[in-house]
Structure 1
Amino acid sequence: MSLRPLLVLPLLLLACNKETPSPAPEAKAPDAKTPTAAASDKPAAAAEIGKPAPDFTLTDDEGKSHHLADYRGKTVVLEWFNAGCPFVKASHTKGSLKGLSKRAAEKGVVWLAINSSAPGKQGHGAESVAEGRKAFGFENPVLVDASGKVGKMYGATNTPHMYVIDAQGTLVYRGAIDNSPDGEGESPKDGKLVNHVEEALDDLAAGKPVRTPETKAYGCGVKYGS
């Protein structure tokens, strides 16, 4: 392995931690215009491999509502997204996420990015999302989870953090996009690049069990508010 990935990783991690300073908290009534997960009287179920994926309703950055249950019958990919995260940038411009959502959509897969960055944090806001869309050529919906409710329900810890849900609504994969933690696909473990999400989608399309249901995610930490 060359020294380049070893030097790049610390720089990426430093860039991940750059955030817009948050204003002092104020006591405010909830803003009805702020997109959040659907309210429920019952505690939200946690995401578990082999179990039904927790349902949610979120509004995307263009104002359209998305209810996970409405996509039953189709394979769904959830991608935790932060346009300011250098690992997300690397994955979408050089690494394993480059063009993957488009290729998946051409095969009938629903791809939903979820932005759980809180106000004042890196990646929050329509402007950041728009800049990311343009830079990455990203055409899929980016759902707004500013409260972090859905991200915490799924146990999302990193950007990117990937989840695959089969046509029956069962969570069949969660973890890293691939086995190259530089985000660029240039330092794969064991010397061979493995795109875990593409592999899971191929297994589902072939009617086979997902060969690797879970891996450890890498990247920037999700910028939750608390």
Structure 2
Amino acid sequence: MKTTMIPTILMSLMATAVFAFDPPPVGSAAPDFSLIDANGKTHSLSQYKGKYVVLEWFNPECPFVKKHYGSGNMQKLQQQYTGKGVVWLTIDSNAPGTEGNVTPEQAQKITASWKTRQTALLLDPDGKVGRAYGAKNTPDMVIVNAEGKIAYEGAIDSEATPNPADIPNSTNYVKAALDESLAGKPVTTPQTRPYGCSVKYKSS
């Protein structure tokens, strides 16, 4: 890890310590939810029962998120797995007035200009869904299997830096978990420590 990146990463990790909620255990039922996407359409987890679903927590201003979108890495994953029938839901749980919160209009512009390939970008301004999943960072990744249970939770990959140059040398945990799951195999690494910017939740 490059020493110049350590302060940024430490600040992110310290910020996450404020929240005293944990993600549901791997293997447990994924909490159901309903959220509106950037186009005003409602999506619920239960409507995708029988399919694999990826949940990706998002902040367009976060350098760790920009690492994966600016390089095209996230779009490539989205396109690859939605093409295999996986539902990919990107979720913005940042509160209004905080870094990373987007309006529906802003979300539409981002998906167009960034050429994203997810199923939908969902807006969670009150943070209820993020809290239900214990999402603390962006990106924080969750995979829900066809039975509605959590198959993976944690980081997108093994390189906890905002540097896109580190992507080729990383282990992509989400890709590995999806490949194993779709092949009917158990997930070798079902949980890792997520990294990134803290989710800016609404004060309770």
TM-score surpassing 0.5? Answer: yes
How far off its partner does 1:72 sit?
Answer: 0.7
| Cα deviations by residue, 1:168-201 (Å, 9 ceiling, x for unpaired) | 111010000000111445447xx95210000000
Counterpart of 2:88 (choices 108, 111, 118) is 111
2:141 is equivalent to residue 162 of structure 1? yes
Q: Which one has the largest radius of gyration? A: 1
Q: What RMSD in Å do the two structures reach over aligned CA positions?
A: 2.5
Task: Measure the CA separation in 2 of the matches of 1:62 and 1:81.
Answer: 17
Task: Measure the CA separation in 2 of the matches of 1:56 and 1:81.
Answer: 17
2:198 is equivalent to residue 221 of structure 1? yes
For structure 2, the residue ranges without an aligned partner over 5 or more in a row are 13-22
Q: Which residue of structure 2 aligns with residue 133 of structure 1?
A: 111
Aligned length: 192
Output the amino acid matched with 1:167: A
Matched position secondary structure for 1:203: helix
Counterpart of 2:49 (choices 48, 55, 72) is 72
Q: Which has the higher helix share?
A: 2
| Cα deviations by residue, 1:67-86 (Å, 9 ceiling, x for unpaired) | 10110111000000111111
Counterpart of 1:152 (choices 131, 140, 150) is 131
For structure 1, the residue ranges without an aligned partner over 5 or more in a row are 16-45
Task: Measure the CA separation in 2 of the matches of 1:8 and 1:222.
Answer: 19
Matched position secondary structure for 2:142: strand
Task: Measure the CA separation in 2 of the matches of 1:178 and 1:135.
Answer: 24
Matched position secondary structure for 1:101: helix
Counterpart of 2:177 (choices 192, 196, 200) is 200
Q: Which residue of structure 2 aligns with residue 49 of structure 1?
A: 26
Which is bigger in relative contact order (C-alpha 8 A, separation at least 6)? Answer: 2
Q: Percent identity?
A: 44
Instruction: Work out whether residues 75 and 117 of structure 2, in 8 Å CA contact, stay in contact via their aligned partners in 1.
Output: no
Deviates more, 1:81-90 or 1:154-163: 81-90
Q: CA, structure 1 residues 218+95, in 2 after alignment: closer, same or farther (shift >3 Å)?
A: farther
2:67 is equivalent to residue 90 of structure 1? yes
